[in-house]
Structure 1
Amino acid sequence: MSKVCEVCGKHPVAGRNVSHSHRVTNRVFRPNIQKITIKDKEGRVRKANVCTSCMKAGKVERA
């Protein structure tokens, strides 16, 4: 499954974990992407990879 939101373009971002003793390790912040059925701009029904924040904000019309 794609790790990019088709609505807002949100994608994984790299960062670092910093422990209490300040040991630093690399990590990845991944968006919560779900595959849902939507109606696109032309009115067609299709499946799309959308982040949950776009679903909650109502940026997509679900079919």
Structure 2
Amino acid sequence: MAAYNFPQDLRDAQLALHRTRTAYEGYARALPGSAEPSPGWEAEKAAALRLLVLKSGQPRLHGGAAC
């Protein structure tokens, strides 16, 4: 038995999330690699984006340019 008694709809949503992530990872593995590498972010553009996000009050993104 679990240490906490979570509502069934929350447990169902968590299971659906795990299944979706597994399907996504399988799909991503099946895609071919990029034919040409992208140039990536320029430092000035990334800094400007961080400022816009911080000023807008939106939550910061993990792993993206707004970290």
TM-score of the two chains, using structure 2 as the length reference: 0.17
Greater percentage in strand: 1
The structure richer in helix per residue is 2
Higher relative contact order (CA 8 A, sep 6+): 1
Instruction: Mark the structure with the bigger radius of gyration.
Output: 2
